[in-house]
A and B are shown apart, each in its own frame.
Chain A
């Protein structure tokens, strides 16, 4: 998937992946895509909840090799 910015939140624990995601999205324009990589297993549900509450669309959420990958489209 194409993306405009990547955020590596590996090794960070709650709530840092969400806070960093929020910050990274602030630097993007509407419709641009942010890729987030995290290792916190809680971030899977949290990223869904973040997307739902902020209106930014979670395009995909996947796990590969103990890492979680998210693509978020800025509202």
Chain B
């Protein structure tokens, strides 16, 4: 059986997609998959994922389009200067709400849905115990079925993997 090892280090809504999409797809293809969640990646295994947001601030690659209205309106790319984005309270929450609507409009799975599909497909979740403590989390903040380990445990699987991704 082929093996895929992923290190998930990002804790935003957009960056939650690559590890969960690749893990669930690999599992469907018959891979044995492990994801090691470390640093901000720990946000992806919390029970409450409402903390996952997108921030267009300092991200010129992110299209800023409205997920509603007539086509000409939806096609507009709103180039909002960083200085404004940084100073409007709730800008990230607004961008996140718009992104979630865009995700739904496009038939793209939600993160809770993809995470559940990974669990069903027996993707193994590992969390970095060091960063759990560093960030003041409790094990009870996270979903069940996670192994809390260190780097050495990750290498036990990663060392034998066919593909290893750092995301």
Using a CB–CB distance below 8 Å, which chain A residues touch chain B? 11-16, 18-19, 21-22, 39-40, 50, 53-54
A18 near B108: Cβ-Cβ < 8 Å: no
Q: How many residues of B contact A (CB 8 A)?
A: 11
A13 near B106: Cβ-Cβ < 8 Å: yes
Q: Name the one of B21, B30, B109, B117 contacting A54, with C-beta atoms under 8 angstroms.
A: B30
Q: Which residues of B contact A16 (CB under 8 A)?
A: 107-109
Q: Which residues of A contact B25 (CB under 8 A)?
A: 15, 18-19
Q: Which residues of B contact A15 (CB under 8 A)?
A: 21, 24-25, 28, 109
| Chain B nearest CB, measured from A6 CB (Å) | 18
Q: Which residues of B contact A53 (CB under 8 A)?
A: 29-30
Q: Measured between alpha carbons, how far is A22 from B120 in the docked complex, in Å?
A: 12
Extra pairs beyond A13-B106, A16-B108, A18-B28 (8, CB < 8 Å): A11-B107, A13-B108, A14-B108, A19-B25, A19-B28, A19-B117, A39-B107, A50-B29
Dominant secondary structure at the B interface = loop
Q: Measured between alpha carbons, how far is A50 from B24 in the docked complex, in Å?
A: 13
Q: Which residues of B contact A18 (CB under 8 A)?
A: 25, 28
Q: Which residues of B contact A50 (CB under 8 A)?
A: 28-29
Q: List 19 A-B contacts (CB under 8 A).
A: A11-B107, A12-B109, A13-B106, A13-B107, A13-B108, A13-B109, A14-B21, A14-B108, A15-B24, A15-B25, A16-B108, A18-B28, A19-B25, A19-B28, A19-B117, A21-B28, A22-B28, A39-B107, A40-B107
